[in-house]
Amino acid sequence: SGGLTPEVGCMSYGTTATINTTSKRYLEPVRMMPPYPSALPGHYSTEVMIYRGFWMVSWFKREFGLREQKLAEQKGVEPEVLFDELVRAVPAGSMGLMLQPYWSPGVRQPGPEAKGSIIGFGDVHTRSHIYRAILEGLAYALREGKERIEKRSGVPIRRLRVAGGGSQSDAAMQLTADVFGLPAERPHTYETSGLGAAIDAAVGLGLHPNFETAVNAMTRVGDVFHPQADTQKLYERLYREVYLKMYPQLQPLYRKIRDITGYPD
């Protein structure tokens, strides 16, 4: 299936990171946050977004990634290739460095007082750990979104389709499979919004009789990343015992920071 059923979680590793499912039912993953009408007639796309998403990778590159950018120019490769090497230099779990990716506040959950945080620093930690913690934090936040959608829909998500620029990173894909404990599939193109528009046009022009035929003809899965048992166990504990507790514990402090500094407005 090309992601037209609610057991496929479609993720975008773009500037904004999102997870969504397509369903015949109108579901609000967070109350009062409506789903989008789907291009598929009579269906809805239920989405949870992490507003700053893979913008955080650009932020890291700009603020801390000068060395990689220079090296990449010399070697004639993309800086992201070298960032993947940074990730691989660090064990899963970033030696306890946990990141909550709320670099921009939310509307309801997280709320307007939300801030980003990194906890668990020790003298072993380097830029590489921070970079890996960004990718892990985004995966934890999206997993929380997945669980929110499942709770509202009653349908478990069994597979992930990951697109967007960030999905080009093998390290990010493997870490996603491990954090979610699910196979993470990469479509044959990461520009899936453009592909979706082309599919809509193909059906609208009658080049294909319906969406199912068009999706089957125009999409295919590329690489599939499977969770590794030991890493999955480690992430499961960090997610349940640490990540999920961070926002409720820190929320009162975020409110105080906003009261005292006036930021964010």
Q: Is 3's pLDDT higher than 70? A: no
**Domain coordinates in residue numbering, the chain:** 8-255
Report the C-alpha gap between 111 and 15 in whole angstroms.
20
Q: Is the pLDDT of residue 80 over 50?
A: yes
Contact in structure between 251 and 113 (CB atoms under 8 Å): yes
Arithmetic mean of pLDDT, 174-180: 98
Q: What is the 3-state secondary structure (H, E, C) of 151-220?
A: HHHCCCCCEEEEECHHHHCHHHHHHHHHHHCCCEEEECCCCHHHHHHHHHHHHHCCCCCCHHHHHHHHCC
The candidate with the shortest Cα–Cα distance to 17, out of 38, 48, 44, is: 48
Q: pLDDT over 70 for what percent of the chain?
A: 98
Report pLDDT for 56.
95
Q: Are strands 117-119 and 98-100 parallel, antiparallel or unpaired?
A: antiparallel
Inform me whether the pLDDT recorded for 2 exceeds 60.
no
pLDDT score of 197: 82
pTM of the model: 0.92
pLDDT of the residue at 193: 77
Q: Report the C-alpha gap between 176 and 170 in whole angstroms.
A: 10
Mean pLDDT value of segment 189-207: 80
Burial 224-251 (b: 16+ CB within 10 A, else e): ebebeeebbebbeebbeebbeebbeebe
Residue 169, token pair as written in the block: 């990173």
Any idea which of 34-38, 150-154, 251-255 has the lowest mean pLDDT? 34-38
Residue 3, φ and ψ in degrees, nearest 5: 90, 15
Report how far residue 231's alpha carbon sits from residue 242's, in angstroms, rounded to the nearest whole number.
16
Q: What's the distance, Cα to Cα, between the start and end of the chain in Å?
A: 44
Cα–chain center distance at 215: 23
Q: Average pLDDT, stretch 51-64? A: 92
Q: For residue 1, name the pLDDT band (cuts at 50, 70, 90).
A: very low
CATH no. for 8-255: 3.30.420.40
Angle between helices 66-75 and 79-88 (to 10 degrees): 120
